[in-house]
Chain A
Amino acid sequence: MQPTIQGMSIDDVYQGMKARNVADSTTKLTDAHVTIAGAGGLGSNIAIALGRIGVGHLTLIDFDQVELSNLNRQQFKLSQVGMDKVVALKQNLQEFNPFVTIDAVAKKIDHDNVATLFETADIICEAFDDPSAKAMLLDAASEAFPSKPIVMATGMAGIHSSNSIISKQVRPNLYIAGDGTSTGAEGLMAPRVMIAAGHEANMVTRLILGQPTI
């Protein structure tokens, strides 16, 4: 008897995931390991985008719990308020795509644990809210992994034009998406945060598939 998930054959579920992925991408995606720093507005949207297309190994790192004020932009449910974000996100990802190995790490990232936490990642994806945490991660990762690709974001608040959010390749292995100026004090809403998350997720996808230009 064929193995099943929710009454469907595993093979059918896998073929369904593959059917609309870009030709010849799925095997490379399956082999990739992406570590996402932060599981909030950016991180939850990035993880779901990468999980849906079958990035084979995702590590999610965040110390925070789901709050009601997160739900206007972060991919959590009312029923998950109070849970560790990484645990809730893993739960959601598994419902979207069972072919992803997910490590949920409820931990605060600091300068001293970057070398350990990101060692096995092919690509580092930054998804913090705090600008000093973003700078800390870039600083520490550049020291620990001088050539590992790192995809980041800065500036996705308010209701400014979608087209002001762009991706820049700042160094050969450093990509930064965003408008570069808007701050969380303006308010943060799903549509614009998702644009920045989409930039990051697409850059990660392009890197996995051997297209390292913006």
Chain B
Amino acid sequence: MVIVNGEPVAEAVGLNIQTFLEQRQTPVDHVVVELNGHIIHRPEFENTTLSPNDKLELITFVGGGR
């Protein structure tokens, strides 16, 4: 179980962050990712694998404003 924005997600375990975001259809460049309280920068998405009990926070942005 990975806790994603407070919700348990069983199927996230074992996936890397890049794959997890793609499966959720979250645009990779619109999101800032925190894993267990630390920011994971985009180049590290593919090398970072989600483990049981990880806490993943996704801060996702939509456009419009400028």
Contacts and interface: CB of A to CB of B under 8 A. Distances in A.
A58 interface: no
Given A131-B30, A170-B59, A188 B65 contact: yes
B30 A43 contact: no
Interface residues of B, number: 17
Contacts, number: 84
Contacts of B30: 131-132, 134-135
Given A131-B27, A143-B41, A138 B66 contact: no
Given A131-B30, A139-B32, A142-B32, A176 B65 contact: no
A34 interface: no
B29 interface: yes
B65 A139 contact: no
B65 A41 contact: yes
Interface of B: 27, 29-32, 39, 41-42, 57, 59-66
15 contacts: A41-B64, A127-B65, A131-B29, A131-B30, A132-B29, A132-B30, A134-B30, A138-B59, A139-B41, A143-B39, A157-B64, A170-B57, A170-B59, A188-B64, A193-B65
